[in-house]
Structure formats: structure tokens, C-alpha cells
Amino acid sequence: MSQQNDSTEAKRIEDAATAPSADEVKSYLRQHPELVANDAELLSSLVPPSQSTGRNVLDMQHFMIGRLQNQVRMLRDIQSDLIEASSLNSIAREQVHAAALRLLDARSFEHLIEYTTSPDGLARVLGIRAATVCIETANGVSGIGIRGVRVLEPGGVDRIIGPGERCRLAAHVRGSRGLYGHLAEDVHSEALVRLDISRGSPPGLLALGGFDPEQFHPDQAVDLLEFLANIVERCVRQWLDLPPA
């Protein structure tokens, strides 16, 4: 028993002899002040002084409480942003699902295009200013096609959204009259989605123009837009009796 105590005491003396002195620790911390500030676990393990500190002792308790308050405020801000984003995503999902059901309920091809392109149709359900269906033509002349479908020159879809790209979202834009006609001046953001309607048909485009400059922006997820475009493609194929893309 005595031998074990002697061994423990010897180890304690050895550790004390090799441990840095208080002056060495203070010197190191002065050279690396971020060590404590950026280490929450280390900071939480410090023993704060009482309020009756001497003149030469910093009030670490006040510093630690302030740091924790800042962390709580930051967490609350993050929580608020997550709740807001979740709410907006839920609204967008409900809008797209409602639009998809109405597209599927179209009574004819003409009714499908009218609902998709009318300001009182798809645009109103999605809460946007304008919605347009475009298709490339072989004659190189762009404009308004039959049944309200806008016509693009060959290669127009690649020019607008990029070669091989499925979607392009842009904020703070000036609406194109070639896409939105007389509604272009009210379009300040847009979502453009490629339409691959059929193997034998030229590329198409679904253009959605928003009122707000940041209603659409590049950081948004595009899964709902792609879903909506898939519904439009399938509805067009169904009414025109076309094979899949």
C-alpha cells in the first residue's frame, strides 16, 4: 500500500515538474487568444470568478454569459430562418400540386394551352405574373404560334437556358417580350425549364415570370419546377398522341 502511494506521489511530482508554469501558460494564451474564444468546450470548463473580483482580475463570468447569449441569439435566428423556409416550401409544394391537377383535368389540347398560358390560369395558381409555353420551329422565325404557343428559332432553348441544361432560375431580370409579350414589363425574375415532349418533336420551354425580383433565384431547389414540367410534357403527349421523349 505504501509502495503504491509512493509511486503515485512520485508521478505527481514528475508531472508537476514537466508541466508548464503559470507564466508560460499565460504567455501562450496571450500569443494565441483565439484558443479560448473559439473552443466552446474549453470555455465552458473554465471556472468563472465571483462578482467580488479584484481590480486586476478580468470578469470572465460576464464574458462567458455574453458569449452564450450571442450563441442563443444565433440559434434563434437559424431556427426562425428554417421555419420560414419550411413554410415557403410547403406553400410552393401545394401550389405546384394544385397546378398539376388542373393540367391533368384539361378537356382538350386547346384548353391545356389556354390554362397554361393565361394570366388567370397557371400563373394565378403559382402566384406569378406570366407563364408561357414555347417550342422551337424549323423555319427560323420566332413569334406567336398556333393555339397560343410561342415559337422560338432553332437552337433557341439552348440559347436561353444553356446547352443541355434542364432549368435556369434568375433574379432581378428584365422580362423578355419574346417570351412574355405585353406582360414582360411586369416580370422581374424567372424560372425557365426545358420541355422534352417527344422523340420526334423539337425542344420546348416552359417560362415562368415572377412579379418580385427574387421570387425566383439561382439558389432555389428545382425539383418542383421539374415535376411541373414533366406534367406539362405528359399532358401535351397525351392530347397529341405522341411517343415519349
Quote the mean pLDDT of the chain.
Answer: 82
Q: Burial, 198: exposed, middle or buried (Cβ in 10 Å; 0-12, 13-18, 19+)? A: middle
Give the mean pLDDT of 20-42. 74
Q: What pLDDT was estimated at residue 81?
A: 65
- pLDDT exceeds 90 at position 8: no
Q: How many Å apart are CA 193 and CA 134, to the nearest integer?
A: 10
- At 118 the three-state DSSP class reads coil
Contact criterion met (CB below 8 Å) for 242 and 198: yes
Task: List the grid coordinates of 176.
Answer: 423578355
- Who wins on pLDDT, 112 or 86? 112
- pLDDT exceeds 70 at position 154: yes
Q: How many Å apart are CA 33 and CA 189, to the nearest integer?
A: 47
Q: What is the largest CA-CA distance in the chain?
A: 103
Please report, rounded to a whole number, the percentage of residues in the chain having pLDDT higher than 70.
73
Contact criterion met (CB below 8 Å) for 167 and 226: yes
How sure is the predictor about 217, in pLDDT bands with cuts at 50, 70 and 90? very high
How sure is the predictor about 118, in pLDDT bands with cuts at 50, 70 and 90? very high
Q: What pLDDT was estimated at residue 117?
A: 94
The distance in angstroms from the start CA to the end CA of the chain is 86
- At 181 the three-state DSSP class reads helix
Q: How many CB atoms lie within 10 A of CB 61?
A: 15
Q: How many Å apart are CA 10 and CA 2, to the nearest integer?
A: 12
Please report, rounded to a whole number, the percentage of residues in the chain having pLDDT higher than 90.
49
Instruction: Give strand pairing partners of 134.
Output: 150, 205
Q: What pLDDT was estimated at residue 159?
A: 94
DSSP string, 109-142: HHHHHHHHHSTTTHHHHHT-SEEEEEEE-TTS--
DSSP string, 207-219: EEEESSTTSS-TT
Residue 240: CB partners within 8 Å, gap ≥ 6? Answer: 109, 198
Least confident of 65-69, 150-154, 195-199, 212-216: 65-69
